[in-house]
């Protein structure tokens, strides 16, 4: 069951906000009856009409984008910055990014119009792993890396166990390249975790999202996920294993 305004928005009728106005204005019928209650939930078997026209459910699409630095991962930006949507101008469905990457972070991000799928990929209880490679200032010692692994107390809660691996150390510039794998998506999580051990991130890239990588794509390019990949990701979220 989904809220009526969400169903309208997903079908491409209007934004969630405008869909609410259509409902309140008495323009929407469910199974032949006008519904003006915003909390109304409908299922796939309900017949929804907007101004006399029956809703056709939009088919779902899934894209994998190699986000470059300097692009914001929102649908629009009030400061007029370039968004991930600008990189997929040919998509005619109402897609949105699954989770987010900071303006200055590059790497893999998925975009879709499938809200359930997005929930499966982002809620920490489904444990979808995202691997990052961070260039940090300073050379963290073993104990600091252990802290990252065990969990860091951030102001919005302790981070779940992570997997951390030192890749390279540059003593001359006092920097290190470190791999970190997490299954949560707290705001600026990786940057804040490294801040907490006194090694601020200078450069950050998301290398992988579950079994997906940006392999074969240049920064700024996207491709559609295959049906098999989408199925694999769902199974992974639902069972913890790739089928």
The tokens 């984008």 sit on which residue?
65
**Residue 162 and residue 181 in contact, taking contact as beta carbons nearer than 8 Å:** yes
179 is a site residue for ligand URA (CB under 6 A): no
Residue 159 gets which letter from DSSP? Answer: P
Per-position b or e across 79-105, b if 16+ CB within 10 A of its CB: eeeebbbebbeeeebbbebbbbbbeeb
Nearer to ligand URA, 8 or 199 (CB): 199
* Dihedral class, residue 239 (left if φ above 0, else alpha if ψ from -120 to 50, else beta): alpha
Helix, strand or coil, per DSSP, at residue 91: coil
The residue annotated as part of the active site, out of 25, 76, 92, 102, is 102
Single residue of 5, 10, 183, 189 touching ligand URA by CB under 6 A:
189
Nearer to ligand URA, 23 or 134 (CB): 134
Annotate each residue in 74-103 with x if it binds ligand URA (CB under 6 A) or - if it does not, as one string: ---------------------------xx-
By residue count, the chain amounts to 243
- The answer to whether residue 102 is catalytic is yes
Q: By CB under 6 A, which span of 40-48, 152-160, 184-192, 230-238 interacts with ligand URA?
A: 184-192
105 is a site residue for ligand URA (CB under 6 A): yes
Single residue of 69, 82, 94, 188 touching ligand URA by CB under 6 A:
188
Nearer to ligand URA, 30 or 128 (CB): 128
Q: Are strands 201-209 and 130-137 parallel, antiparallel or unpaired?
A: antiparallel
Nearer to ligand URA, 9 or 101 (CB): 101
**Residues with catalytic annotation?**
102
């Amino acid at each position: 069951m989904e809220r009526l305004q969400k169903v309208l928005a997903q079908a491409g009728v209007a934004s969630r906000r405008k869909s609410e106005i259509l409902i309140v204005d008495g323009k929407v019928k469910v199974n032949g009856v006008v519904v003006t209650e915003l909390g109304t939930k409908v299922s796939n078997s309900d017949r929804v009409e907007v101004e006399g026209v029956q809703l056709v459910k939009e088919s779902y699409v899934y894209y994998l984008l190699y986000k470059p630095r300097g692009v914001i991962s929102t649908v629009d930006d009030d400061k007029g910055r370039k968004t991930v949507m600008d990189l997929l101008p040919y998509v005619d469905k109402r897609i949105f990014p699954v989770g987010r990457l900071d303006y200055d972070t590059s790497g893999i991000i998925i975009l879709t119009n499938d809200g359930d799928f997005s929930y499966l990929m982002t809620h920490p209880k489904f444990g979808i792993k995202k691997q990052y490679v961070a260039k940090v200032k300073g050379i963290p010692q073993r104990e600091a890396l252990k802290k990252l692994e065990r969990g860091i107390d951030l102001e919005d809660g302790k981070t779940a166990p992570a997997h951390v691996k030192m890749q390279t150390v540059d003593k001359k510039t006092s920097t290190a390249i470190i791999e970190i794998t997490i299954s949560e998506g707290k705001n600026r999580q990786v940057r804040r975790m490294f801040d907490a051990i006194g090694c601020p991130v200078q450069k950050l890239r998301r290398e992988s999202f579950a079994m997906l990588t940006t392999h074969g794509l240049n920064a700024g390019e996207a491709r559609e996920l295959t049906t098999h990949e989408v199925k694999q990701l769902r199974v992974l979220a639902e069972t913890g294993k790739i089928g």
